Amino acid sequence: MRHFTSIKQLGNIKEALEAAKYVKANPFADKALGQDKTALLVFFNNSLRTRLSTQKAALNLGMNVMVLDVNQGAWKLETERGVVMDGDKSEHLLEAIPVMGSYADVIGVRSFAQFKSKEDDYNEVILNQFIKYSGKPVFSMEAATRHPLQTFADLLTIEEHKKTARPKVVMTWAPHPKALPQAVPNSFAEGLLMTDYDFVIANPEGYDLAPEFTKGARITHNQDEALEGADFVYAKNWASYEHYGQVLSKDMSWTVTTEKMALTNNAFFLHCLPVRRNMIVSDDVIESPQSLVIPEAANRVVSAQTVLKMILQDL
Ligand code: CP
């Protein structure tokens, strides 16, 4: 694999999950693969899990790791071409990217949707510039439209806990005070549609995701109906795609509570974290034995290591 920007690039998802299980059982088996190779992790946005799990994954593979927080200590970057740079931005991304490429063998990029332009966000302008100008393999650590390392970890977590071959998985919108990108739910839908699981998306009207990510999924605006008989509940907030980047609702009746979970088939609860307690999910649910949020986060090392291994094998 050269670049990793979508879960679809893993190809056969069953084989990819088997590869991940091998990595999980043998975390240091490929220590020689990354020797004398450097991973550069570039963050345009905050992170806890991605920052730590990807570093750990690279270290497990014997790589050196460098982390750059673009907004803390680097020169402020201009991203638009044609701009007269007479403001506070000292360096252009078009120089910065090949310079970064000259220091690294593999580059991870985190660059969220900015909600200024749906077109720019959905064309993944920043991520694609890294692919075009760095000269190195690039992997997404959450971009504007997808978070494939998260999705891979989510799928692994479901695989490890499912009690039937074809579980019912419900992704439900839940309220949040701020406008959040659609990357996680887009990517989760993309990944679930690679499986043969019974997949349902529940969201209020006005919150339907981009059809390119949800084609083939059942979509309902009735959360209770969706939750009936669910084996896994994946909660997430996202801002409206149709009314791009807007918060249309903070309806607290969509919070995942014990009462909501009682509608399910004793479902496991999933969330990518960080999560706003008692907005997205009640304390009781996230602290319950059915909550998988910690093993799900732990699986981020496995997903990153499996993907980095695939990239290193093709260097
Ligand atoms: N889930 C996730 O990507 O977490 P961070 O934003 O903390 O990296």
Mutation choice for ligand 1 from 69, 142, 275, CB with most ligand atoms inside 8 A: 142
Our answer on whether the CB atom of 110 is closer than 6 Å to any ligand 1 atom is: no
- Which residues, other chains included, contact 269 with Cβ-Cβ below 8 Å and sequence gap of 6+? 233, 235, 256, 261, 281, 285, 286, 288, 290, 291, 292, 293
Digit-coded pLDDT (tens) for 75-116 = 999 988 999 999 999 999 999 999 999 999 999 999 999 999
- The number of the ligand 1 atom at minimal distance from the alpha carbon of 48 is 7
DSSP letter string, 192-213? HTTS-SEEEEE--TT-PPPHHH
Pairing of strands 77-78, 38-43: unpaired
Would you state the pLDDT for residue 73? 86
Our answer on whether the CB atom of 142 is closer than 6 Å to any ligand 1 atom is: yes
Our answer on whether the CB atom of 150 is closer than 6 Å to any ligand 1 atom is: yes
Our answer on whether the CB atom of 246 is closer than 6 Å to any ligand 1 atom is: no
Our answer on whether the CB atom of 306 is closer than 6 Å to any ligand 1 atom is: no
> What is the model's pTM?
0.98
User: Quick check: 309 and 263 in contact, CB under 8 A?
Assistant: no
CA distances 16 to 8, 20, 22, 25, 162, Å, are: 10, 6, 10, 14, 17
- Which residues, other chains included, contact 95 with Cβ-Cβ below 8 Å and sequence gap of 6+? none
User: Quick check: 65 and 39 in contact, CB under 8 A?
Assistant: yes
Asked whether residue 193 carries a pLDDT value surpassing 90, the answer given is yes
Give the distance (Å) from ligand 1 centre to CA of residue 143: 12
Digit-coded pLDDT (tens) for 38-74 = 999 999 999 999 999 999 999 999 999 999 999 998 9
